[in-house]
Structure 1
Amino acid sequence: MEEFLGRFNPAVVLADQVVRLNGLAPQLKLELQYALQCRRADRSTKTPPAVVMQVVRFLRETAGSSLLECTEDHWRTSIGRPAPKDSNPRALLLYARRRIEDLAQAGGWEGEYGRDVWQLRRLGFEGNPTLSFDPIPQPWLRDLVKRWVRWQLSTGLVLETVRRGLRSLIRFARFCHRTGVASLGGVDRTVIEHYLADLQTEMAGRQRHGDQIGQLNAFLTAIRTHAWDATLPATAMLFSTDYPKRSERPPRALAEHVMAQIEHPDNLHRFEDDAHRLATLILIRCGLRVNDGLKLERDCIVLDADRAPYLRYFNHKMKREALVPIDEELHALITARQTSVGRSPRLFPRLLKNPDGLQPMSSSTYRGALYRWLERCEIRDEHGRPVQLTPHQWRHTLGTRLINKDVPQEVVRRILDHDSPQMTAHYARLHDTTIRRHWETARKIDISGTTVVLDPESTLAEAAWAKQRLGRVTQALPNGFCGLPVQKTCPHANACLTCPMFITTGEFLPQHREHRTQVLQIISAAEARGQTRLAEMNRQVAENLGTIIGTLEDDAVRSERTADAS
């Protein structure tokens, strides 16, 4: 018993396991005690006593009476050595000040709305995000922008979208200040046209150009809709013709030879952490946005009536739950991962400062691991250069792959959980453009081996391409496609290889070779049985196949030599 009690004797407790707050001013001591209590309740990170004592010694030296005597920036630059060294005591000190400030200030919108810098943590947002209205010099405009931003946040709009709107209106405010617009009543169509010209000079049709106009339009529309200020002139309007013409940007899908390297089992097993490998497979095969994938719950598998597995996730952009079908291999990997994370409610919990496993792996942690893995595996593009990619490109790649496999657009929309068919149609436009480009550049020959010229620059190019698309759908052949207008009927009973309207390209070489082998076997069998007519009919087909194969093989050899020479 004496030995047992001796273990808990204060005299034998190690010095670095004790927190002593003596020497601090009474108010400062209470503040630090409260902050430590809050941090314990948060259970978001561990706070060793040695770190607490570093903060205590620092505060003793300052001889201050409260954490609120100095700004957050002052405390950040005053304690310890420059970041990242001494990061733990610095983080504790800043945490303590924010907690005391939140306690001293009124909570909710009543206390925050009147300030020019909003601390969004007091409004229920995670982390320490802020929104600053200080850059807006006009009080009349600042008040309206704050009202607009509060309304946007109340509708559940994504914070980054709200920030983008605020940045756009800060630019508009500076323009009004520079040009002498003194009130909302002065914002008429003339001012707007002047502002549009100013935007054009700076941004010249870039994507941000149209976004700036759209955010201003949304702001002016909200003022009218909600009757926030009746002095806004009726002529203060924006029209569809005010927006710059947007060029169609293709999805940023990765090339298949890059994906072949990424998806190779040997490369995937070179991830240092199984969690990073599984997260990568989920992003590739399910098309999730990276933050949605990393925030997956541990219990994320749903089985339908046929026991087919689905991945359940929360689409944070659309603010709704979504399901995506997964294959059996991915199902097995996720099931194994569920066992390995223990009691954590997250499939990918953060490794450090996460005692209860509530916090998910951060996007920056995953991206860092991904980029180190890409470098380690030496993933290269078509020019032999190291590949530079973002995890979001796998979402584009999945959409493009599905469209290229002729999966219906509505199915693709549901898999990617797009909000509108127009978003999915973007991939279909890319697919059509890609096929047309290959069709235009590929060498097309007929049954005699003569090159068929279809001028893509002619005035009939669009009509010709439409006919080819329709022909590929309605008159699909295993080894080429029909050049006969679809309104006409085919007079040839043979399977196209004796037809003058038949066209083929090098992509069908394997089918032609296999077909020729089969035809030669038919001829040999027919001659052995004395079926002269059958043998004669197939000799013409075999001769045409020989001509086609010879021409396409010669063309392939020339292409390889040209590529080697270049």
Structure 2
Amino acid sequence: MNAVPNPHEDRPPRPAGLLEKLMSAIRPEFRQNDLVFDPRHPVFGGPACAVEGCDRPARSNRMCWGHSVRWTREGRPELETFLVTTPARWVGHRLLDACAVDGCRYGLHSHGMCQRHWRQWKRCGSPPMTAWQTSTAPLPVPSPLPEVCRISYCDLWVRGTSVFCTGHDGRWKALGRPDIEDFTASYEESGPGGSEHIDLRRLPMQLRLEMQYALQCRHDEATKKIRPAWAQRLVNALADAQVRSLLDEPEEFWKTFRGPTGNWATGWGTFLLGARRRIEELVYGRGWEAEYPRPVWRLRNLGIVHSHTSTITFEEITQPWLRDLAKRWARWRLSGGISASTVRAGVRMVARFSAFLPAEVTGLAQVDRALLERYLADLHAAMGGRSTHNAHISNLNTFLRTIRVHRWDEALPGNAAFVPEDYPTPPPLLPRSVAEHVMAQLEDPANLARWQDPARRLITLVLMRCGLRITDAINLPLDPVVHDAEGAPYLRYFNHKMKREALVPIDEELEQQLRDHQRRILEERPEGVSVLFPRADANLRGDRPISTSGYRISLAEWLQRCATRDELGRPAHITPHQFRHTLGTRLINKDVPQEVVRQILDHTSAQMTAHYARLSDNTVRRHWEKARKVNAQGETVALDPAGPLAEAAWAKQRLSRATQALPNGYCGLPMVQSCPHANSCLTCPMFITTAEFLPQHREQRQQTLQIISAAEARGQKRLVEMNRQVADNLEKIITTLEDDGQPGTGEADADAS
């Protein structure tokens, strides 16, 4: 006789002691078979229903589920009128109507009558109700009177042998005839003005304890709300699927869990996966002792929670000896404060080396220089000098050097290392700043107003004006503005890359916008918040900021709404980090000293700041070379496009920018030569001007005086002499035009000349 296969026999055995640990960890308030929650509970409840007198939490259209359904069934009347006119009792807990026959208190069955009077009416041929009640004597009231329904606020007679009226008896049977006392108690606890609840009685004991523990953990963490109705559907689906324990199936199964009938709701997989991991943590513990042997490290169990990386996998490293060394290396780097994303990238690059290793390599002793040279050739063929090419060599070299320094394996050959010549020549750093005509579109107030979220609009302004990295910007504290002794405002932030606090000067306008946003956040979340840009969901404590991915998506949508175009008319694609490069380039273009730019951007070294300076010089020179250059007679001036003369011409051009304050061009005279005209316009006999140009004259006088002051401080006498005449002429012109108060004098002079 063939044995009947057991569908559960291939499931892994449950960990020993799990039941005892669950029972000791679950608090009494969560050990109930029917978990009842207060309507205002911060995790399981919500704001009160907008219907007058209803204490149920609002779930849809500012109403509880019952009133929302009632509003829909009534044809969606005017909402404000419905809110003040509809009864407060919600569907399932309002007072039930009695039979229409006078004196009868049985519940309704059909056509406004109880079952006994409905049958009598049907036997009479279903005549009009009023005529039937006057011509035919309805069945009399039973004697003695039946018992009243066990639900405390229901005064209808019980149905037959049941202890409930017709309506409540039908609901009791629909729930599978649960224990009468429990059913009655649920109405007492969640009756009119009652609470939310999750009924776990259909689950087997093991799974019931696991769900109780998972719900308790979500309550304690208080990061995201859970609607009991949503959880009840999940519980029913688990019961229909005859699940015994969440540990009976692997994690991949719970990611896509659906009930036997295909019922499913958003978030089930995330909740079940999180619940399974919490139970594993309870039975196996957390920390390095629990995680180190696993093929996939869960960083949350190692106390690493504020990271974009949630796991580090070693499954792709097939050689056990190499996997053990990679684990040791990863643990050492995490312990030293290196970010989880950097550690995971290093492990991934060791995994590529693992895939390359021939089958005959059975230990570290065979990883010598010859093998590494073969690997270099393989990398070059696969990557061809891409940016990741250098990263693979660098990480593997660090891995091998760490093994050698810490003497984790003495079998490693001494020549197993890379030399500087092994690294491909890195491509030149290309400009990553946003073009000025694109920035003009983005900084347009009309386009900034197209942001739908004021928080993301303010993040964009911080990126543009302060040059922060996106991670630093979204993690700003609630009060990020500080002032120095003179009252100047600064933005205080934490530089996550450098792991230190930093300050950047801001203007009063940005300070005011930060203050306004701070007040708005405190008004919206009076319960408390610790970050300036809190995320809207899964953030009950107010300590989780907007995600970087969420901002990037919003940025792309905003660019599309603004119809931002690049120099070729194509839709502009911009990353948040480009705003940082743009600020650095702009500051260098304005002749801000490199050291000041380095401090503003909080660079550790001046190398990156020097890149902005080099980029600025190359950009300006390229535009200067392409521009058409003419002399005072309007004749085109030709220069050699390349060679030593071109370099010298560009050097002279840069020097000439500092000699005179010309409003209409640059001086082409070599610095070693004396200039017969300190300014070609102001010393020209044909020059004519009027009072309408006074603003330009005043500005040029100010610039000229600044040049004279700087030249005197540096002891440049010839430069002082060259500009003194310009300043004197400007002073005479301004004085004459200011003293002449007669209108039209300038025009008359122009005509006379």
Bin for the TM-score computed over the shorter chain: 0.7 to 0.9
Query: 2: distance between equivalents of 1:188 and 1:324?
Result: 49
Q: Report what 2:213 is aligned to.
A: 34
Contact 1:32 1:96 in 2 (8 A): yes
Match for 2:340 among 123, 144, 159?
159
**Is the CA contact 1:28–1:64 (under 8 Å) kept in the aligned structure 2?**
yes
Structure 1 pair 367/84, CA: closer, same or farther in 2 (3 Å)? farther
What CA distance in whole angstroms lies between the structure 2 residues aligned with 1:11 and 1:255?
62
Tell me by how many angstroms 1:389 deviates.
Answer: 1.2
Partner of residue 201, structure 1: 381
Q: Could you tell me how far apart the structure 2 residues matched to 1:493 and 1:52 are?
A: 87
SS in 1 for 2:666: strand
Which residue, out of 512, 518, 521, partners 1:332? 512
SS in 1 for 2:657: helix
Q: Which SS does the other structure have where 2:371 is aligned?
A: helix
Cα 1:294–1:80 change in 2 (3 A) is farther
1:300, distance to aligned residue in structure 2 (A):
0.9
In the aligned structure 1, how far is the partner of 2:398 from the partner of 2:228?
52
| Contact 1:313/1:323 (8 A) holds in 2 | yes
* Higher mean displacement: 294-303 or 366-375: 366-375
The answer to whether 1:216 aligns with 2:361 is: no
Instruction: For residue 18 of structure 1, give the secondary structure of its aligned residue in structure 2.
Output: strand
> Residue 149 and residue 466 in structure 1: after superposition, are their counterparts in 2 closer, same or farther (change >3 A)?
farther
**Counterpart position of 2:567:** 382
Matched, 1:134 2:308: no
User: Which one of 273, 276, 282 corresponds to residue 456 of structure 2?
Assistant: 276
SS in structure 1 opposite 2:312? strand
Alignment of 1:307-346 (within 5 A): 307-342=487-522, 343-346=528-531
Change (3 A) 1:108 1:200: same
Give me the whole-angstrom Cα distance separating, in 2, the residues matched to 1:429 and 1:92: 52
- In 1, Cα distance between equivalents of 2:482 and 2:190: 56
Report the residue type matching 2:284 in the other structure: Q
Consecutive unaligned residues of structure 2, counting only runs of 5 or more, are 1-53, 56-151, 154-185, 523-527, 684-694, 701-728, 737-752
Q: How does 1:94-105 map to 2 (within 5 A)?
A: 94-105=273-284
Q: Distance in 1 between matches of 2:678 and 2:197?
A: 94
Deviation at residue 130 of structure 1 after TM alignment: 0.9
User: Of 447, 457, 465, which residue of structure 2 is paired with 1:267?
Assistant: 447
Indicate the residue corresponding to 2:288 in structure 1: 109
| Paired AA for residue 196 in structure 1 | L
Tell me how far apart the structure 2 counterparts of residues 435 and 492 of structure 1 sit (CA, whole Å): 29
The structure 2 residue matched to 1:453, chosen from 608, 616, 638, is 638
User: Which of these residues, 661, 674, 679, is aligned with residue 495 of structure 1?
Assistant: 679
RMSD of aligned residue pairs (Cα, Å): 3.2
Question: Residue type of the partner of 1:131?
Answer: I
Evaluate the alpha carbon distance shift between residue 258 and residue 125 of structure 1 in structure 2; reply closer, same or farther with a 3 A threshold.
same
Deviation at 1:417, TM superposition (A): 1.2
User: Taking structure 1 as reference, are residues 188 and 358 closer, same or farther at Cα in structure 2, changes over 3 Å only?
Assistant: same
Code of the aligned partner of 2:333: Q
Match of 1:419 among 577, 580, 604: 604
Task: Tell me which residue corresponds to 1:561.
Answer: none
Larger radius of gyration: 2
Q: When the two structures are superposed, what TM-score results if normalisation uses the length of structure 1? A: 0.83
Cα deviation, residue 219, structure 1 = 1.1
Distance 1:30 1:408, change over 3 A: same
Task: Tell which has more relative contact order, 1 or 2 (C-alpha 8 A, sep 6+).
Answer: 1
Is the Cα contact below 8 Å between 2:190 and 2:196 reproduced in 1? no
Other-structure match for 1:530: none
Instruction: Give, in whole Å, the separation in 2 of the partners of 1:11 and 1:83.
Output: 30
Structure-2 separation of matches of 1:277 and 1:296 = 15
**1:67 lines up with 2:246 in the alignment:** yes
In structure 2, the partner of 1:354 is 539
Q: CA 1:234–1:84 in 2, change beyond 3 Å: closer, same or farther? A: farther
Alignment of 1:385-396 (within 5 A): 385-396=570-581
Structure 1 position 82, deviation (Å): 13
Shift of 1:317: 1.3
Query: Residue type of the partner of 2:207?
Result: L
Deviates more, 1:156-165 or 1:4-13: 4-13
The aligned runs of 1:155-194 (5 Å cut-off) are: 155-177=336-358, 180-194=360-374
Identity of aligned residues (%): 52
How far apart, CA to CA, are the structure 1 residues paired with 2:473 and 2:260? 36
Structure 1 residues 255 and 491, CA gap change in structure 2 (3 angstroms): closer
Contact 1:54 1:89 in 2 (8 A): no
Q: Is the 8 A contact 1:137 1:177 kept in 2?
A: no
- Confirm whether residue 55 of structure 1 aligns to residue 55 of structure 2: no
Q: Quote the offset at 1:427 in angstroms.
A: 1.0
- Post-superposition shift, 1:187? 1.4
- Cα contact 1:112–1:119 (8 A) shared by 2: yes
Look up the SS of the partner of 2:494 in the other structure.
strand
2:619 aligned with 1:434, yes or no? yes
Aligned partners of 1:84, 1:412: CA distance in 2, in Å? 58
Report the alpha carbon displacement of residue 481 of structure 1 after superposing the two structures with TM.
3.4
Determine if the alignment matches structure 1 residue 90 to structure 2 residue 263.
Answer: no
Q: Deviations over 1:534-557 (max 9, x none)?
A: xxxxxxxxx9xxxxxxxxxxxxxx
Which amino acid counterpart does residue 89 of structure 1 have in structure 2? W
Distance in 2, matches of 1:11 and 1:302, equals: 51
Residue 81 (structure 1) shift:
11
Gap change, CA 1:493 and 1:388, over 3 Å in 2: closer
Distance (Å, rounded) in 1 between the aligned partners of 2:187 and 2:206: 31
1:146 aligns with 2:327: yes
Q: Provide the rounded CA distance (Å) in 1 between the counterparts of 2:677 and 2:570.
A: 52
Structure-2 residue corresponding to 1:24: 203
Q: Quote how far apart the aligned CAs of 1:65 are.
A: 2.5
Name the residue aligned to 2:10.
none
**Which amino acid is the alignment partner of residue 65 of structure 1?**
R
Aligned partner of 2:379: which letter?
Answer: L
* Aligned-residue offset at 1:198: 1.0
- For 2:637, give the aligned amino acid: V
- 1:387 is displaced (CA, Å) by 1.4
Q: CA deviation at 1:476?
A: 6.6
Partner of 2:586: helix, strand, or coil? Answer: helix
Distance 2:232 2:535 in 1: 26
Offset at 1:306? 1.0
Q: Which residue of 1 aligns with 2:481?
A: 301
Where 1:40 maps in the other structure, the secondary structure is helix
Between the aligned partners of 1:476 and 1:82, the Cα distance in structure 2 is 82
Whether the 8 Å contact between 1:75 and 1:94 is mirrored in structure 2 is yes
Residue 88 (structure 1) shift: 2.6
Amino acid paired to 1:472: R
- 1:30 and 1:74 mapped to 2: Cα distance? 20
Letter in 1 for 2:614: R
Aligned equivalent of 2:93: none
C-alpha contact 2:368 2:415 (8 A) present in aligned 1:
yes
Rounded Cα–Cα distance in structure 2 between residues aligned with 1:78 and 1:246: 48
Q: Measure how far apart 1:203 and its partner are.
A: 0.9
CA apart distance, 1:89: 2.7
Structure 1: state its 5+ residue gaps: 500-509, 526-542, 544-566
Q: Work out which of the residue numbers 461, 465, 468 in structure 2 matches 1:285.
A: 465
1:279-308 Cα deviation digits (max 9, x unpaired): 111111111111211111111111111111
SS at match of 2:410: coil
